[in-house]
C-alpha cells in the first residue's frame, strides 16, 4: 500500500492503495464516483473513460501510481462544468437534446470521449468522430452519438 495524491474533479485528494490498483477502482470504491463504469476490465469497451490531464484514458487500464499528481476528470466533474452562458456542459446538453441514451450504461464513457475529442477538434468531421469514438455501445446508438457530437460542437461555438 502507498499514498497517492491526485486532483479529481478539481479537488485535491489523497488515496491509499496498492500501486497497481486500477484508477477505476480508486474512483468508484475509494472516492465514491460511481459514474465511471466498469465494463470489460481490459480497456476495450471504454465504459470507464475519464480524462487524465485532459486526455481520455481507460481507467481500468491506468494504475493509480501512473495517475499520481495528475488531474482526473470524471463524468461527475464534467457534469459540474458550466458553459459560458451558465448552462450545463455542451456535450451533456447535446446528449440530452439528441436523446442518445438507450440503456445508458456506456454513456458516461462515450460522453467523456466526445468531450475530449471536441477539446482537441472543435469541429470534427465524421471521419474524425469515428476515429476518436472507439467506445462500444451494445444498443447501437452510434448515429445519435455522432449527431450529438455535431450538436455539441455547435453549442461550444456559441450556436443555438
**Model pLDDT for residues 12-27, shown as the tens digit of each residue:** 999 999 999 999 999 9
pLDDT at position 82 is 75
pLDDT at position 22 is 98
pLDDT at position 87 is 77
What domains are there in the chain, each with its CATH number?
A: 2-78 (3.10.20.30), 82-156 (1.10.150.120)
Q: Is the pLDDT of residue 50 over 80?
A: yes
Phi-psi category of residue 48: left, alpha or beta, with phi > 0 → left and psi -120 to 50 → alpha: alpha
pLDDT at position 131 is 95
pTM value? 0.94
Query: Contact, 36 vs 99, CB < 8 A?
Result: no
Q: What is the pLDDT of residues 53-94, one digit of tens each?
A: 999 999 999 999 999 999 999 999 999 987 666 778 999 999
pLDDT at position 71 is 98
Average pLDDT of the residues in 133-152: 94
Query: What sign results for the dihedral spanned by CA atoms 81, 99, 125, 59?
Result: positive
**Cα–Cα distance for residue pair 157/94, rounded to 1 Å:** 13
pLDDT at position 47 is 97
Q: Is the pLDDT of residue 34 over 80?
A: yes
**Cα–Cα distance for residue pair 54/89, rounded to 1 Å:** 15
What ranges in 59-106 are assigned the alpha helix state H? Answer: 64-67, 75-80, 90-98
Q: What percentage of residues in the chain have a pLDDT greater than 70?
A: 98
β-strand 49-52 against 55-58: which pairing, if any?
A: antiparallel
pLDDT, mean over the chain: 94
Lowest mean pLDDT among 63-67, 99-103, 150-154: 99-103
**Cα–Cα distance for residue pair 90/110, rounded to 1 Å:** 14
Amino acid at each position: 500500500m502507498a499514498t497517492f495524491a491526485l486532483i479529481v474533479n478539481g479537488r485535491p485528494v489523497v488515496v491509499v492503495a496498492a500501486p497497481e490498483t486500477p484508477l477505476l477502482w480508486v474512483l468508484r470504491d475509494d472516492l465514491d464516483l460511481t459514474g465511471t463504469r466498469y465494463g470489460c476490465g481490459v480497456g476495450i469497451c471504454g465504459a470507464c473513460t475519464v480524462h487524465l490531464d485532459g486526455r481520455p484514458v481507460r481507467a481500468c487500464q491506468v494504475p493509480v501510481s501512473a495517475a499520481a499528481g495528475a488531474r482526473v476528470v470524471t463524468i461527475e466533474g464534467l457534469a459540474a462544468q458550466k458553459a459560458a452562458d451558465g448552462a450545463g456542459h455542451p456535450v451533456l446538453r447535446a446528449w440530452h437534446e439528441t436523446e442518445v441514451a438507450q440503456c445508458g450504461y456506456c454513456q458516461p464513457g462515450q460522453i467523456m470521449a466526445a468531450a475530449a475529442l471536441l477539446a482537441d477538434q472543435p469541429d470534427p468531421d465524421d471521419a474524425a468522430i469515428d476515429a476518436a469514438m472507439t467506445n462500444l455501445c451494445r444498443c447501437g446508438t452510434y448515429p445519435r452519438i455522432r449527431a450529438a457530437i455535431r450538436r455539441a460542437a455547435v453549442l461550444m461555438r456559441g450556436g443555438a
